[in-house]
Amino acid sequence: MSWYLDERPEPSLRYLQRFTKRYVPFTVEDQLLRAIALAQRGMWVQAAHLVKQHGAYALNSAIQHVPCGWQLMSWFHGWVRKIEREAQRRHTAVPVATKKSAVPAATRPRNASQTSRAAVATAPALLTEGPTAADGKAVASEANAPPLPRYNIQLPLAVQLPEALDTQLALATQPGSDTDRELFCLRHEWTQLRLLQGFDELLCLPILHGVETYWYQVEAVRKVLKQFHGRVLLADEVGLGKTIEAGMVLKEYVLRGMAEHILILTPATLVGQWQEEMATKFDVLCATSYEALLRQDPSAFWAQPRVIASIATARRPEHRELLASQQYDLVIVDEAHHLKNRATANWQLVNTLQKRFLLLLSATPVQNSLVELYNLLTLLKPGIFKTEKEFRASYMTSGKPRLPANRERMRDLMRDVMIRNTSGAWQK
C-alpha cells in the first residue's frame, strides 16, 4: 500500500499482477487497486472503464478486503469519487470538442477505418455515464447498514533470511534507531533482489500501452534475457514484431535497473518511427539525431542517456570518435543486414562501440553469402571464430557461398545466436 499512498503506479501495477497470480481475490478488490493505479498514471479512461464495469458500489464494498482498508476507507472512497468526477468532466467535454467539426451524415463516407475512429471517439462517453438511481439506493442502504463485526485473527508468519543478515540480527541484541534502520534497508534490498533475480515473469507486460503481445514475442523476450544474456540476432519474418520484441527487452532492462545508457541505430527513414513507438508504447523518451543539439554541441548530444540516431549520421568520423568513448548498457541496431560487410563504416562503428547488451534486428541476415552471417556473429560474440578462413572451412561449401557444408552443425550454431519466428510456425 505504500506505493499507492506515494502515488507510484508502475511498481503498484507490477506487484499487483504478481500477487493476483498467487491469490484469489474475495470480490473485486484487485480491480479497485488497478483502477486507482491507472488513475495515478493519468489513464483516466481505463480507470473509468473499470469503475463502470464493476460498479462504484462493488468497488467501495471491496475496500474491507484490502490491507489497511478500514483505516484508509476515506482515502479509497476519495479516489473512486475522483475517477468518477474526471470521467464526468471528460464526458461533458466531448460534445464541445466535436461540435465544430460536425459533418452531415449524408456527406460522410462510411469505411472501416472511419467506423473504427468513431467508435474510439465515443468510447469515453459510454464509459463515463453518471450515477443511476439504483446506485444511489445502494449507497444509501450501505450508509444505513450496521457495522460488520471485527475479529482478532492471528496468522503464523515465518521469515527466512540469508545467513549474513541473520548473523547481524543475532548480534544486534540492543539495537538503536540507526541499527534498526540499517537492518531494515538490508532486508528491503534483499527482498528486491529476490524478486528481480529471475526473468520468468516479465515486469514490462502490465505497463505497455497499445501493444498486443503474442505468445511467441513473450517467449522470444524471455530467451533474450535468460538464454542469450542480451546479445542476440532477432530475425523474425517481416510483420511479426521485431521492434516490439526489442522494445520489450529494452523496457525490461530499464525496469530492472540494468540499462540506463541506451543507443538505437536505424536507417534515417525510421528514426521518427522508433522515437514515436518508444515514447507511446513503452514510456521511454529518447533524443534523436534530428535535434539541433547534435549540430550545436555533438559531445553533449551523444552523452544523453537514451538516443535514437541514423546510422548514416553516427558513422561520420566526427561522431564515431565521440560514440566510441561512451559506455553503453544496450545498443539496438535495426536493419542489421547493413552490417554484413566488415569493411564498411557501419560494421566498424558498431564494432567499436563499448556495449554490454546488443540486439541486431534483421529479417534477412544472409543475402549473398554465409560470410555475412560470420560478420554479424563476430559483433555478437567477439572471438567466436579465430578467422574468417576457419569459418569458411567449418561451415561453408566451396564454390557455393550460400550453401552450408553441414546443415545440422549450422543449425546448432544459429541456436546460440539467433531467434527467428515465422508466420507458419506461430500460427500452428
Evaluate whether 87 touches 44 at the Cβ level (below 8 Å): yes
The grid cell for 65 is: 478486503
Closest by alpha carbon to 378, among 336, 323, 408, 420? 336
Phi, psi at residue 418, to the nearest 5°? -135, 145
pLDDT at site 125: 41
Question: In the 8-state DSSP scheme, what is residue 365?
Answer: S
Question: What pLDDT, on a 0 to 100 scale, did the predictor assign at position 282?
Answer: 94
The letter for the amino acid at 109 is P
pLDDT of 97: 44
Cα angle at 264 between 258 and 266, to 5 degrees?
Answer: 160
Give me the residue label for grid cell 507490477. 14
What are the φ and ψ backbone dihedral angles of 241, each rounded to 5 degrees?
Answer: 95, 45
In the numeric block, the cell 579465430 is attached to 386
First-last CA distance in the chain? 43
C-alpha 387 chain-centroid distance: 38
The amino acid sitting at 358 is: L
Beta pairing class for 400-404 and 396-397: antiparallel
Helices (H), 306-403: 311-314, 317-324, 345-352, 370-380, 388-395
Side-chain-side CA neighbours of 9 within 13 Å: the count stands at 16
Residues 6+ apart with CB under 8 A from 217: 240, 241, 244, 245, 248, 421
pTM (2 d.p.) = 0.55
**Rounded Cα gap, residues 113 and 108, in angstroms:** 12
Please report the pLDDT score of residue 22 as a whole number: 65
What DSSP string describes 297-331? Answer: -HHHHHTSSEEEEEHHHHTSHHHHHHHHTSEEEEE
Q: Is the dihedral of CA 377, 378, 380, 382 positive or negative?
A: positive
**pLDDT for 375:** 87
Please give the helix or strand (H or E) that residue 231 lies within, else none.
Answer: strand 231-234
Per-residue pLDDT of the chain (428 residues; tens, 9 = 90+): 777 787 888 888 887 777 776 667 778 888 888 889 888 888 888 888 888 888 888 888 788 777 777 777 788 888 888 888 888 888 776 554 444 444 444 444 444 444 444 443 444 443 444 445 555 555 555 556 677 676 666 666 665 555 554 455 455 545 554 556 677 777 766 665 555 556 777 888 888 998 888 888 999 999 999 888 899 999 888 888 899 999 999 999 999 888 999 999 999 999 999 999 999 999 999 999 999 999 999 999 999 999 999 999 999 999 999 999 999 999 999 999 888 888 899 999 999 999 999 999 988 887 778 888 888 888 988 877 778 888 888 788 888 877 877 788 778 777 888 888 887 655 54
Give one word for 359, left, alpha or beta, with left for phi > 0 and alpha for psi -120 to 50: beta
> What is the helix, strand, coil percentage profile of the chain, to 5?
55, 10, 35
